[in-house]
Amino acid sequence: MMNTSSPYVIETQDLNVFYGDFHAVKNVQLRIEKHKITALIGPSGCGKSTVLRCFNRMNDFIPTARIQGRVLFHGKNIYDPDVDPVQVRRRIGMVFQKPNPFPKSIYDNVAWGAKINGFRGDLDQLVEESLRRAALWDEVKDKLDANGYSLSGGQQQRLCIARALAVKPEVILMDEPTSALDPIASLRIEELMVQLAEEYTIIVVTHNMQQAARVSDYTAFFTVDEHRTGYLEEFGPTPEIFTTPKSRITEDYITGRFG
Amino acid sequence: MTRERSAPEIHESLRKRPRWGETVIHGLLLVFAGLSIVTTLGIVLVLFSQALHFFARPEVSLARFLTESQWQPQIGHFGILVLINATLLTSLIAMVVALPTGLAIAIYLSEYASHRTRSILKPILEVLAGIPTVVYGYFALTFMTPLLQRLLGRDVVEVFNVASAGMVIGILILPLITSMAEDALSAVPYALREAAYGLGATRLETALKVVTPAAMSGLIAAFVVAISRAIGETMIVAIAAGAGPRNFKSWREALHHLALFNPFKGAETMTGHIVRISGGDISYESIDYDSLFAIGLTLFLITLLLNILSRRIVRRYREVY
Amino acid sequence: MMSDFPEGQELEQFIKRRRQKGLIWRSLFLLATTLGVLVLMVLLLTILNKTLGYVAVRYRMEPDELVVALYRTIMLDASQTQTLANPADLTRGLAADPDGVGIMARADFEATGQGLRVVPITDLSLQGVVVVVSEANTWLTDLTSLELMRLFTIATTWSELRPEWPQRPIHRWLPPASSPALHAFIAQVYGEDPRTQPTEALVAMLAMHLSPGAMRQIMAEKPLSARTHEDFYQLLVDRVMEPTILETWSFSESILNRKAIQARVAAMPDARLEFRRWITWDFITSPQSSRPEFAGVRTAILGSLWVVFITLLFAIPVGIGAAIYLEEYGSGGWLDQLIESNINNLAGVPSIIYGMLGLAVFVRALEPLTSGSLFGLVDPATSNGRTVLSAGLTLGLLILPLIIINAREAIRAVPQAFREASLGLGATQWQTIWSHVLPNALPGILTGSILAISRAFGETAPLVVVGASTAIFLDPHGPFSKFTVLPIQIYQWTSRPQAAFQNLAAAAIIVLLALLLVMNGLAVYLRHKYRRTY
Ligand SMILES: Nc1ncnc2c1ncn2[C@@H]1O[C@H](COP(=O)(O)OP(=O)(O)OP(=O)(O)O)[C@@H](O)[C@H]1O
Ligand SMILES: [Mg+2]
C-alpha cells in the first residue's frame, strides 16, 4: 500500500549516479514535500539535471548511466524491478530546458499524452483545462490547429507545461524551464509555477538565484568535490538557505563569490 | 636598410593589377563546373533530337506510341505502354518489398539498436549498397527464380519473370531506403523523444507516433528517390525479367485475366529493352536505333520528374523542430 | 476526484496491452533487420556455392590415358623387351632368365608364379601388380621407385642402375599393352596426372597425339624452347584432351547428393566426375573463350582497368575542379545555383541514359576522335567508336556528380579559419586553395573518389549501350581498343543457357567483388589514416 499520508512525495536514499566510470553524483539524501516547490541550484556540472532525471527514470535512455541507491515515490522504490518506468513517467511529468513541442498542432500536442495513456473523457475539455492551467488558453484558443512551433518561445514552454499537465501527473520536474526565455516570459512561467504548486509537487532546476528565492519553498544546493563528483551540500527551507546558510560554500555561491 | 617609403609609393603599391594566373584558373574551374550543365544539355539534346527522328518517321505517330498494346518497331508497332507497364510492375514489386522492410530496419536502427549493433549493421548495409547490380541480376536468375518456381510451381512461374526481378530490385534499393530513412529519423531531435517519454509513452509509441511523423518529409523523399532508382534499374531486369516485350494483340486481350499484370510471366521493361537492343551492333539508320531514344526520353522524363518531386518535398515540408 | 484515466485493475490490463504491442512491433523491426543481413549472406552464399563443385566431363583423350599411353610406348619400345599375353608363359620364360625382370598382376603371380620372387620397392607400395625376377637372380633384392622408373625405360644394363650389379643387359618381360596390370603399373609408378609430368614428357605426349603438321604450326607460333611447362600443359588440354563439361553441380548439391550424382555420371557414356574449383589462377589469367572449360577473365579485367583508368583521368580533375569552383569561387548567383541543382539532378539520372548519351556523342558523333582515326591510331581490330576511350568518358560523365558532391563536402569541412589565416598573410585565393584547402581536404576527396571509381567499376548497363564487345580475344592495349569489362563478362555468361557459364559467372563475380573490396578497403584505410586532427 502506498503511504499517502506521508508529507514526502519523493525521497532519495544514498543516491549515486555513474556515467560509465565517472562518478557524477554521490550520496544524495533529499525529501520532497507534497505541493511544495523545491529548487535545485548549484554550479554547472554539479549534477542537478542528473538528479532530476533520476526522479522519473529518464536516465534509462543513457546507455552508460548507472544508478545506486533508492528513489522512493510514496515509499516505493521506482528502481525496483517490478516497477514500470513508463508509469513512473506518467505520474512524474517533466518540462525541459528548451521548449520541445511536437511538430503537431497545439491541440494534438496537449491531447497526445492523454490519448496514449488511455484517456476516455472529453478530450476537448481536457485540452482547454490544461491550456488554461498553463495560462496559455487565451492566447491560443483561436488557433488550436496551428503547429506548436508557430508559437513564441515562452508560449512554447507553456504549451509543454500544458502538455505535461494533461496526463494528470502528481509531480512536475522542470529543468531550467526559463533559461531559454526572455525575462517577461520567464516571469509568467514563475507565476504559473506558484499557481500550479497548489495542486502539484514541483521540482525545478535553476541557475537564477532570484528565481529560486522568489518561487521555491525548499532549496537544495549541490556542488562538486575535488573529483568533480557532485553532492548535496545543503538542503532546507529557501529563506534559511538564502539568509542563514549553514555552509560556507553555500554562502559563497549565493552571494556570487563562488569560484 | 629599409628606407621610409613615401605616400605616393605606398599608393602605387596598393594599385590593383591583373593577376592572369588567378584569372585563368578561375575560368578553367568555371568551365569544369559548367560541364555538368553541358552534360545535362547533351542528354536532353540527344534524347529529344533522336526521339524527334523517331516520331518524324511516316509510320510512327505519337498517338500510336501512347495507345498501342504492342512494341515491335520492326513490324510497325510502337506501344510504349507495354514497356512502361513492365517497368511499373517491377518497381511496384520492388517497393512492396523494400518500403516496409527498409522503414522497419531504419526504425530499428535509429530507435532501438544499441550503438554497437548500429556500428555492425550499418557497414553491412553499405556493403549491400556497394554490390554491382549485375550481381543482383545473377542472384535473381539463379536464386530467386528457382525459389519462386519451387514455391509456386514451374507451370506458374516462368524462367524469366517480373516477380523475381522486382523482388531483387527491392533488395537492391533496400540499403538506399534504409540509410536515407535512418538519416531522416536520426535528424529528429532527441528532445522530442524525451518529451514523449516524459509523458509516459513507450518506446514504440514514441517511435511510431512522434519520431516517424516528425521525419515524414525525409521519409517520403527517401521513397521517391528509391522509386526513381527502381525505375531506372537495368541489369536485374535485363537478366531476369524477360527477353521480349509482353505484347498483346489488343487491350482487351491484355486485360483478359489481367494477363498484362501477371507477375510470374516475363516482360521487358524500358531499360531491359534498351540494353537488349543496343547490345548488338545496331545500325544507326534503323528504326530500332531511333526507337531506343524515344524510350530513353520517356525514362528520363519520368525519373527527372520524380527527382524534382523529391527535392520539392524536402524543401517544402522541411521540418521545424 | 474521479479520474478519466484507467486505474487499478484496468490500468494493469492497459499497460500489459501496450507492452505486448511494443514487444510485437519490436520483434517485427528486428525481424526485418535480420532479414536484411540474411539476404546479404544468402546472396554471397549463392554465388560462392557455384564456384566449387562436381562437374561431369567428357575428354576426347582422358588425362590418365595420356600418361599411360606415353609410358606404355616407351616401355614397349625399350630394348630387350618382350610381351607375353599368357601369364604362365611369362612365368616360365622369366624363371629361366636370371637377367630378366617382369611385371605381373599380383593375382597372376599368386596363381602361376613358381620359380619367381617379388622385388620389394622400398618407397612405394604397388597395388594389384608386382615386379618379379627369377629366383636365380641374386642381386635384385630391393628397388627404389626412381630405379624402377629407369629400369623399364632408359636403362639398358643392370650396372647402370647400381654399379655393383652385373654389367649385363636387362631383359624385360611385360604383359601385353592392353592389360590392366601394365596400366596399373604405369599409373602407380609414373603417375596419371599430365600436369605433374616433366616438360619433356608433355612434349612427347603432344608429339604422339598431334599430326606433324600441327606440331610444326605450334612451333611456328612460338618455339618450343620458349615455352613453359604450363604452356605445354595448356596445349595438351586444348588440343589433345579437349574436355567438354557436360553438366555441373553446385557445392551444396555436390555434398548433399553425392551418391545420386555419381550414379548419374556413371550412366553417362564416357563421362568422368571431377571436383572443380572454378576460381583458379588459370581462370584469372586466361583470355576470353567461347568454351567454358578454357574461358578466363583476363581480357575483361584488363578492359575494366583500361576503362576505369580513362574514367579516372577525366573525372577526377574535372570533378575536383568543379567542386573547388562551387565551394571557393561560387558566389551563389543564379549560375552557381543552376549548376548546383543541375548536379543534384544528374546524380539521379539512370545510368543507362548516360549510356545513350555516350552512344550518340562519343561513339557516333565523335567517332573520328574516339576511334583514334583522327590521330591515325586506329586499332586494326576496331573500325568504329566503340572503344575504351568512349566507355571511359561515358563512365566519367556518370560519376562526375558523385565526385563533385563528395569533394564539396570534403572541402566544406576544412575550417574557415585556415582560409582566413592564409588570406590574412596576403596569399591570393588560388594560393590559399592550393596550399591550405586542398591538402586538408585531400583524404576526404580521395575517399569519395575511390568510392565513385568503384561505382564505375561495377557499372554495366551504360557500357552495354556504348557497345562493349561481346567476343574479343585480344587484350585491350590502349584507349582505342575494343574492350569488354568484368561486369559485362558476367552479364554475358549469366545469359548463356549452358550450366558451366553460370559457374564461370559466379567465379567472375567473386573476382569482381574481391577487386571492389580492395578498393573500398583502401578508401576505409585512407579515411582512417588521415583522420583529421583539427
Ligand atoms: N550522458 C552523459 N554521459 C557522460 N557524462 C555525463 C552525461 N550527462 C552528464 N554527464 C556529466 O555528469 C556531470 C553532471 O552533469 P549534469 O548535466 O547533471 O550537470 P548540471 O548540474 O545539470 O549542469 P548544468 O547546470 O550545466 O546543466 C557533468 O560532469 C557531466 O559532464
Ligand atoms: Mg543541467
Q: Is B2 helix (H, G, I), strand (E, B) or coil?
A: coil
Task: Identify the pLDDT of residue B2.
Answer: 57
Instruction: Dump pLDDT digits (tens) for C478-501.
Output: 888 888 899 999 999 998 888 889
- Taking phi over 0 as left and psi of -120 to 50 as alpha, with beta for the rest, A176 belongs to left
Q: How far is the CA of A96 from the centre of ligand 1 (A)?
A: 15
Residue B258 sits at the chain A interface (C-beta within 8 Å): no
Query: What pLDDT does A5 receive?
Result: 58
pLDDT value at position B319?
63
Q: What is the mean pLDDT of residues C334-349?
A: 87
CA A60 – ligand 1 centroid, Å: 15
* Ligand 1 contact via A45 beta carbon (within 6 Å): yes
Average pLDDT over residues C375-391: 75
Please check whether residue C3 touches A, CB under 8 A: yes
Q: Is the pLDDT of residue A243 over 70?
A: yes
Q: How far is the CA of A47 from the centre of ligand 2 (A)?
A: 7
CA B94 to chain centre: 11
Question: In the block, which residue shows the cell 518497331?
Answer: B73
> Are C3 and A168 a contacting pair at CB < 8 A?
yes
Residue C473 near residue C299, CB atoms below 8 Å = yes
Interface test mutation site (partner B, options C14, C50, C325, C472, max chain B beta carbons within 10 A): C325
Tell me the three cell numbers of residue B89. 510492375
Residues of A in contact with B321 (CB under 8 A): 100, 103, 149
Residues 240-279 of chain C whose Cβ lies under 8 A from any Cβ of chain B: none
CATH code, residues C298-530: 1.10.3720.10
Q: How far is C341 from chain A (nearest CA, A)?
A: 28
Residue C456 CB: number of other CB atoms within 10 A? Answer: 26
Q: Is B201 helix (H, G, I), strand (E, B) or coil?
A: coil
Site to probe by mutation for ligand 1, drawn from A25, A40, A50 as the one with most ligand atoms within 8 Å of Cβ, is: A50
The pLDDT of C286-307, averaged and rounded, is 88
Q: Is B216 within 8 Å of B224 (Cβ atoms)?
A: no
The nearest CA of chain B is from the CA of A222 a distance in Å of: 24
Overall average pLDDT of the C277-295 stretch: 86
Give the ligand 1 atom nearest the CA of A176. Answer: 27
Q: Counting ligands in written order, which one lies closest to the CA of residue A24?
A: 1
Q: Is the CB of A19 under 6 A from ligand 1?
A: yes
A217-237 pLDDT tens trace: 999 999 999 999 999 999 999
pLDDT at residue A259, rounded to an integer: 45
CA dihedral C212, C218, C219, C222 (to 10 degrees): 180
Query: Looking at residue A64, what DSSP letter applies?
Result: T
- pLDDT number for residue A2: 46
CA-nearest residue, atom 18 of ligand 1: A47
Report CA(B2)–ligand 2 centroid distance (Å).
60
pLDDT at B320: 65
Residues 6+ apart with CB under 8 A from C315: C395, C396, C397, C399, C400, C403, C452, C456
CA–CA dist B171, B164 (Å, integer): 11
In angstroms and rounded to an integer, the radius of gyration of the C-alpha atoms of chain A is 18
pLDDT at C534: 56
| B154 touching A (Cβ < 8 Å) | no
Closest Cα in chain B, distance from residue C357 (Å) = 6
Is residue A64 within 8 angstroms of chain C, CB to CB? no
Interface check for B130 against chain C (CB to CB < 8 A): the answer is yes
Taking only the tens place, the pLDDT of each residue in C211-252 is 888 888 888 888 878 888 888 888 888 888 888 888 899 999
Per the CB < 8 A criterion, the answer to whether B110 and B186 are in contact is: yes
Cell readout for B24 is 585563368
All residues of chain B having their beta carbon less than 8 Å from the beta carbon of residue A89 are 197-200
φ, ψ (nearest 5 deg) of residue A67: -115, 135
Q: Is some CB atom of chain C closer than 8 A to the CB atom of A120?
A: yes
Asked whether the beta carbons of C362 and C368 are under 8 A apart, the reply is no
| Cα C416–chain centre separation | 50
C21 touches chain B (CB under 8 A): yes
Q: Which cell numbers hold the place of A225?
A: 568535490
Residues 6 or more apart whose CB falls under 8 angstroms from that of B48 comprise B297
B208 close contact with C: CB closer than 8 A: yes
What's phi and psi for C26, nearest 5 deg?
Answer: -60, -40
| Res B13: pLDDT | 75
A119 has a chain C CB within 8 A of its CB: yes
- The answer to whether the CB of A232 is under 6 A from ligand 1 is no
A91 — contact with chain C (CB < 8 Å)? Answer: no
Distance CA C394, CA C406 (A): 19
- CB of A24 sitting under 6 A from ligand 1: yes
Top-ranked range on mean pLDDT: pick from A249-258, C73-82, C389-398? C389-398
Tell me how close the Cα of A84 comes to any Cα of chain C, in angstroms: 9
Query: Rounded to the nearest 10 degrees, how much is the dihedral formed by the CA atoms of B155, B269, B165, C30?
Result: -130
**Minimum CA–CA partner of A167 in chain C:** C5
pLDDT score of C367: 81
For testing contact with chain B, the best of C18, C27, C356, C509 (most B CBs within 10 A): C356
Q: Residue C1: what pLDDT?
A: 42
Residue for grid cell 535485363: B238
Residue C57 CB: number of other CB atoms within 10 A?
24
Chain A contacts of C17, Cβ < 8 Å?
A: none
- Closest protein CA for atom 30 of ligand 1: A45
Cβ of A38 closer than 6 Å to ligand 1, yes or no, is: no
pLDDT tens for chain B, 321 residues long, are: 556 777 787 777 777 777 788 888 888 998 998 888 899 999 999 999 999 988 888 888 888 888 888 898 888 888 899 999 999 999 999 999 999 999 999 999 999 999 899 888 888 888 888 899 999 999 999 999 999 999 998 898 999 999 999 999 999 999 999 999 999 999 999 999 999 999 999 999 999 999 999 999 889 989 999 999 999 999 999 999 988 888 888 888 888 888 888 899 999 999 999 998 887 677 888 888 889 999 999 999 999 998 888 888 877 766 666
pLDDT single digits (tens) C407-456: 999 999 888 888 888 887 778 888 889 888 988 898 889 888 888 999 99
* 8 Å CB contact of C14 and A118: yes
Angle C57-C59-C64 (CA atoms, 0-180°, nearest 5)?
105
Average pLDDT for residues A94-103, to the nearest whole number? 90
C326 — contact with chain B (CB < 8 Å)?
yes
pLDDT surpassing 60 at residue C2:
no
Q: Evaluate: CB of A47 within 6 angstroms of ligand 1.
A: yes
Phi-psi category of residue C116: left, alpha or beta, with phi > 0 → left and psi -120 to 50 → alpha: beta
| Interface predicted TM-score (ipTM) of this complex, two decimals | 0.90
- Grid coordinates representing C392 are 571511359
Residue C381 has pLDDT above 70, yes or no: no
Measured at the CA of B95, the angle between CA B91 and CA B101, to 5 degrees, comes to: 155
Q: Measuring CA to CA, which residue among B134, B140, B133, B227 is closest to residue B180?
A: B227
Residue of B nearest to A111 (CA): B199
Our CA dihedral for C397, C400, C401, C402, rounded to 10 degrees, sits at 130
Looking at chain B from residue 15 to 44, which residues have their Cβ under 8 Å from any Cβ of chain C? 19, 21-22, 25-26, 28-30, 32-37, 39-40, 42-43
> Ligand 1 pocket test: which of A15, A16, A19 has the largest number of ligand atoms within 8 Å of its C-beta?
A19
pLDDT for position A238: 94
CA-closest residue to ligand 1 atom 11? A24
DSSP A78-93: TTSTT--HHHHHHHEE
User: Residue C307 pLDDT > 90, yes or no?
Assistant: yes
pLDDT over 70, % of chain C: 97
Q: Give the number of the ligand closest to the Cα of residue A175.
A: 2
Q: What is the pLDDT of residue A241?
A: 92
Kindly report which listed range (C108-112, C293-297, C355-359, C377-381) carries the lowest average pLDDT score. Answer: C377-381
Q: Which residues surround ligand 2, an ion (CB under 5 A)?
A: A 49
Neighbours of chain B (3+ CB pairs under 8 A): A, C
pLDDT at A123: 93
Rounded-to-integer distance, Cα C277 and Cα C51, Å? 6
| CATH number for the domain whose boundaries are A8-258 | 3.40.50.300
> pLDDT tens for residues A106-130?
999 999 999 988 898 899 999 999 9
All three cell numbers of B5, joined, read 617609403
Question: Whole-prediction pTM value?
Answer: 0.83
Per-residue pLDDT at C401 exceeds 90: yes
Q: With CA atoms as reference, report the closest residue to B32 among C343, C453, C412.
A: C343
Domain ranges of chain C: 63-189, 298-530
- Closest-lying ligand to the alpha carbon of A63? 1
Confirm or reject contact between B116 and chain A (CB < 8 A): no
pLDDT of residue A162: 93
Kindly report the average pLDDT of chain C as a whole number. 87
Question: What is the pLDDT at residue A3?
Answer: 46
Size of interface A-C (CB pairs under 8 A): 23
C474 pLDDT higher than 70: yes
Contact (Cβ atoms closer than 8 angstroms) between residue A172 and residue A37: no
Beta carbon of A48 within 6 Å of any ligand 1 atom: yes
The pLDDT score that the predictor gives to residue C532 is 60
Residue B131 confidence (pLDDT): 92
Torsion of CA A114, A119, A122, A125, to 10 degrees: -30
Name which of C4, C11, C19 is nearest A121 (Cβ-Cβ). Answer: C4
- Measure B175 CA to nearest chain C CA, in Å: 9
pLDDT band at A258 (very low <50, low <70, confident <90, very high): low
C229 touching chain A per CB within 8 A:
no
**Taking CB atoms and an 8 Å limit, are A61 and B196 in contact across chains?**
no
- CB half-sphere exposure, A196, CA atoms < 13 A: 35
**Other Cβ atoms within 10 Å of C344 Cβ, number:** 17
